[in-house]
Amino acid sequence: MTPAQEARLAIREGRHTGPTRGLAPGFVQCNLVVVDRSLAVDFFAYCQRNRRACPVLEVTDPGDPEPQALAPGADLRTDLPRYAVYRNGVRERDRQEIRELWTPDSVGFLIGSGMSWDHALERAGVPTDRYRWVLRTTRPTTPAGPFHGPLVVTMRWLAPAHVPVAIRVSASYPGSHGAPICVGDPSALGVDLDRPLFGGPVPRCPAGLVPVFWACGVTPQEAALAARIPLLIAHAPGHAFLTDLEADRHRLP
Amino acid sequence: MTPAQEARLAIREGRHTGPTRGLAPGFVQCNLVVVDRSLAVDFFAYCQRNRRACPVLEVTDPGDPEPQALAPGADLRTDLPRYAVYRNGVRERDRQEIRELWTPDSVGFLIGSGMSWDHALERAGVPTDRYRWVLRTTRPTTPAGPFHGPLVVTMRWLAPAHVPVAIRVSASYPGSHGAPICVGDPSALGVDLDRPLFGGPVPRCPAGLVPVFWACGVTPQEAALAARIPLLIAHAPGHAFLTDLEADRHRLP
């Protein structure tokens, strides 16, 4: 078994229930969105129109919970540690599996995650173990069908010498958000530092560190809130799906 | 008016009816596919699973013939010089406009084209005015719903010193097929040199030139033949849609 397969098994069996950062280093991690087939075209168009935030790495056939390209044998209903469930624009309690919510018309979208290149950043000498948040902005996404809402970003605080390295490393993974969209002042994006979606309260930025912002795969969850569709299932922020795809093979050719 | 807008107007008014290579140099050109909304999810999934051949740059809302992101004011029903029409897996006669085939459920997909970086190749000293064909291979694409079929490639013959330049230039346009998928022997891909889809008969390769192969946006038309869906409309090979997007701004960030 690969490290990714081992991690998925531990998750499926309930032995790992926390965030996936640092699990199976070097394997591509994905954000998950599950919608009904009737909304799949609109959601696909939403991803296409906002593809820095929502790069689709795989879409499953209706009803099939197995990502046949990225993780043969895996099951999207059980192999993520925590799921966020949105009904009519309201987030319900998180779940550890979604077997009873899955239908023959469920379509799963696997969307690239910036966690995929954490390992590459570490190898390049850029620490990734702290100073990382998921935050709303006031920048609107491009709507499609019922889906609309603000862009969500991942903010990392980096040492000045690490900024160009992190930009170059992340840029070589366009399927996992690619390069940052902004560096510096959070107000340029209207970033809401007061209500992080993941990462805990944001302290004052230590002197000398630089905020760097990447488009984030949690963006569709804000669109789910705004669209008030009957049901949208996603990964809980930070609790991603581990694929069998090695990040180094997912880099730019 | 930009050169792309001028070219689209000339096409709409019937003043330009031929291939689009060399028109509005430096603007992104797109392959077109139009399917009914009922097949749009499957076709979108087909593009995602074969995205080297089918990088979707825009998808229109059902019934809306205007590509609002890439060419505001344009009309997909009239602004391409020639359309290929496939009914139940049979190619009908080509058309110069498709107004009467367009319905409130028509969804247009604009797919990147390698012609988008012809201008960048020229600037880098690589001639693009000859030795260019669109050819079937025996390599299968990944199916989705009814869509399946062989990969189609663009073959160019290049001087040995131009090969690395062409690879680096095209690689920086991942939305327009990106880097080649193969260099050298056509038999590695099972390329059918006898029945080119565009470019005329293939002569013997002059000594010293190297065949280079890119995934091609004509691939969906082979899938239309294989899928035998009631109706699929596409650009006629070589007769692409000119967008307002400048290729240099479409390069990798």
Enclosing H/E stretch for A123: helix A118-123
SS3 B46: helix
Tell me if B58 and A69 make a contact (CB, 8 A cut-off). Answer: no
Q: What is the band of B252 on the pLDDT scale with cuts at 50, 70, 90? A: low
Confirm if B6 and B74 have CB atoms less than 8 A apart. no
Between chain A and chain B, the number of residue pairs with CB atoms below 8 A apart is: 55
Q: Hey, of B41, B106, B170, which one would you mutate to test binding to chain A, going by the most A CBs within 10 A of its CB?
A: B41
Query: What radius of gyration do chain B's Cα atoms show?
Result: 17
Residue B253 has pLDDT above 70, yes or no: no
Q: Which residue has the tokens 């912002």?
A: A213
For residue B172, the chain A residue with the least C-alpha distance is: A252
Tell me if A44 and B44 make a contact (CB, 8 A cut-off). Answer: yes
Out of A59, A145, A253, the one facing B178 most closely (by C-beta) is A253
Confirm if B24 and B2 have CB atoms less than 8 A apart. yes
Give the pairing of strands B182-183 and B56-59: unpaired
Confirm if A57 and A249 have CB atoms less than 8 A apart. no
Q: Which residues pair with A49 in a beta bridge?
A: none
Enclosing H/E stretch for B235: strand B232-235
Contacts of B171 in chain A (CB under 8 A): 252-253
Tell me if A49 and B69 make a contact (CB, 8 A cut-off). Answer: yes
Q: What is the band of A202 on the pLDDT scale with cuts at 50, 70, 90? A: very high
**Average pLDDT of the segment spanning B236-247:** 94
Contacts of A179 in chain B (CB under 8 A): 253
Q: What is the band of B73 on the pLDDT scale with cuts at 50, 70, 90? A: very high
Confirm if A34 and A110 have CB atoms less than 8 A apart. no
CA of B152: how far to CAs of A119, B75, B192, in Å? 36, 27, 10
The whole-model pTM stands at: 0.89
Report the pLDDT value the prediction gives residue A252, as an integer from 0 to 100.
62
Task: Kindly report the nearest CA distance between residue B157 and chain A, in angstroms.
Answer: 21
Tell me if A41 and B45 make a contact (CB, 8 A cut-off). Answer: no
Give the whole-angstrom CA distance, residue B48 versus residue B55: 7
Best CA proximity match to A76, nearest among A221, A245, A234 = A234
**Average pLDDT of the segment spanning A48-68:** 96
Best CA proximity match to B195, nearest among B150, B240, B143 = B150
Tell me if B174 and A174 make a contact (CB, 8 A cut-off). Answer: yes
Q: Which residue has the tokens 């970033």?
A: A191
Report the pLDDT value the prediction gives residue A230, as an integer from 0 to 100.
95
Query: What radius of gyration do chain A's Cα atoms show?
Result: 17
Task: Kindly report the nearest CA distance between residue B238 and chain A, in angstroms.
Answer: 25
Enclosing H/E stretch for A108: strand A106-112
Confirm if B45 and B3 have CB atoms less than 8 A apart. no
Residue B205 has pLDDT above 50, yes or no: yes
Interface predicted TM-score (ipTM) of this complex, two decimals: 0.82
Confirm if A144 and A46 have CB atoms less than 8 A apart. yes
Contacts of A44 in chain B (CB under 8 A): 40-41, 44-45, 48, 59
Per-residue pLDDT tens digits for A167-191: 999 999 988 999 999 999 999 999 9
Give the whole-angstrom CA distance, residue A201 versus residue B234: 51
Tell me if A41 and B44 make a contact (CB, 8 A cut-off). Answer: yes
Task: Kindly report the nearest CA distance between residue A96 and chain B, in angstroms.
Answer: 28
Q: What is the band of B249 on the pLDDT scale with cuts at 50, 70, 90? A: confident
Best CA proximity match to A240, nearest among A42, A104, A74 = A74
For residue A39, the chain B residue with the least C-alpha distance is: B41
Give every CB contact of residue A221 below 8 A, 6+ residues apart in sequence. A33, A84, A86, A152, A197, A232, A234, A237
Confirm if A62 and A104 have CB atoms less than 8 A apart. yes
Give residue B65's Cα distance to chain centre: 18
Contacts of A56 in chain B (CB under 8 A): 48
Q: Hey, of A47, A59, A212, which one would you mutate to test binding to chain B, going by the most B CBs within 10 A of its CB?
A: A59
Per-residue pLDDT tens digits for A215-244: 999 999 999 889 999 999 999 999 999 999
SS3 A138: strand
For residue B111, the chain A residue with the least C-alpha distance is: A48
Q: Is the dihedral of CA A63, A68, A73, A77 positive or negative?
A: negative
Give the whole-angstrom CA distance, residue A251 versus residue B221: 29
Give the pairing of strands B106-112 and B232-235: unpaired
CA atoms within 13 A on the CB side of B111: 30
Sorted by where each starts, the structural domains of chain A and their CATH numbers stand as 3-116+225-250 (3.40.1640.10), 117-215 (3.30.2040.10)
For residue A41, the chain B residue with the least C-alpha distance is: B41
Best CA proximity match to B41, nearest among A62, A130, A84, A56 = A62
What DSSP assignment string belongs to A46-87?
HHHHTTTT--EEEEPPTT----TTT-TT--TTTSSS-EEEEE
Give the whole-angstrom CA distance, residue A231 versus residue A125: 42
Enclosing H/E stretch for B241: strand B241-246
Tell me if B59 and A69 make a contact (CB, 8 A cut-off). Answer: no
Pull the structure tokens for residue A50.
């906002």
Contacts of B142 in chain A (CB under 8 A): 69
